[in-house]
Structures are given as C-alpha cells and as structure tokens.
Amino acid sequence: MQKDRELIQAALDARKYSYSPYSGYRVGAALLAADGTVYTGCNIENAAFSPTICAERTAFFKAVSEGKREFCAIAIAGSPDGEMTQFSWPCGVCRQVMAEFCDPKRFTVIVAKSEEVYEKRTLEELLPKGFGPGNLA
Ligand code: THU
C-alpha cells in the first residue's frame, strides 16, 4: 500500500539519525497521527545505559508533547549498523506506551526491511491481554 510505503520510507530516513554508539543497532520509527501528521524518531543511547530511549518512544513522546493523542500506525526499521537485515519488532516497553494511546484492535505496527519487504500486525496481536488505561477507568 502506498501509505505503508511512505511511512516505511520515513522510518528508514529517521534511522540515519540513530545515536547508537554502544550497541551499533540503528532504529528509525515513523508514527502516523490521526490528523495525518507523521512524527519520526530514532533510538538515542546513553553512556549510563538506562537513559537510552527506543525509536518508537521517541516518536510517541514527540507527538504527545505536541498535543497529539490519536494514532493510526507506526513503521519501524531497525538492524545492526549497515544494511537492513532484520525485522525489528518493538520491545515490551514500547508496546506498553502504544497501549496507552492506541486502540489495540486498530493500531497497526509495521516492521520493515525496505519499502517492499515488510510485515504488519495489530497492537492487539503484539500485546494480547495487556494492561491499559481501561483498567483504571
Ligand atoms: N531499540 C529500539 O529503538 N526499539 C526497540 O523496540 C528495541 C530496541 C534500540 C534500543 C537500543 O538503542 C538498541 O535498539 C539495542 O537494544
């Protein structure tokens, strides 16, 4: 789908900015907000290790900090430095952040090696029986 390809290209572009001197693992993400705006992010590592943030959360926190709360999809492109050799599924913490803002049945996660080679899942498939805002309502 053309929309998927555009989001994947944005994730691949964002991967260029990955700051990953410790792992050498470069990740880019592109988050599509409900209003059509795309927020990109990359992983940003830290010498103290635990302050490291994933590409997906960088994109989410950029968007939420600019007033967005509704999202349709995220594309993720991650691999060791160099060519895209892997599908980089989001870590558990990033899945939990998605669950805070996204409808699990509708929000789409795309992991890509290229614009042509990618896989898609709903958030519900990646985080079944998750804990979320509904639990505290
Ligand atoms: N990383 C992400 O950016 N997203 C994920 O979902 C998993 C891992 C980053 C964090 C760290 O900089 C590097 O990949 C290796 O774990």
Coil, strand or helix at 54: coil
Q: What is the pLDDT along the chain (137 residues), one digit of tens a residue?
A: 889 999 999 999 999 999 999 999 999 999 999 999 999 999 999 999 999 999 999 999 999 999 999 999 999 999 999 999 999 999 999 999 999 999 999 999 999 999 999 999 999 999 999 999 999 99
Mutate to test the pocket of ligand 1, among 12, 18, 79, 91 (most ligand atoms within 8 A of CB): 91
Distance 137 CA to ligand 1 centre (A): 31
Coil, strand or helix at 101: helix
Distance 98 CA to ligand 1 centre (A): 15
Of all protein residues, the one whose alpha carbon is nearest to atom 9 of ligand 1 is 54
pTM: 0.98
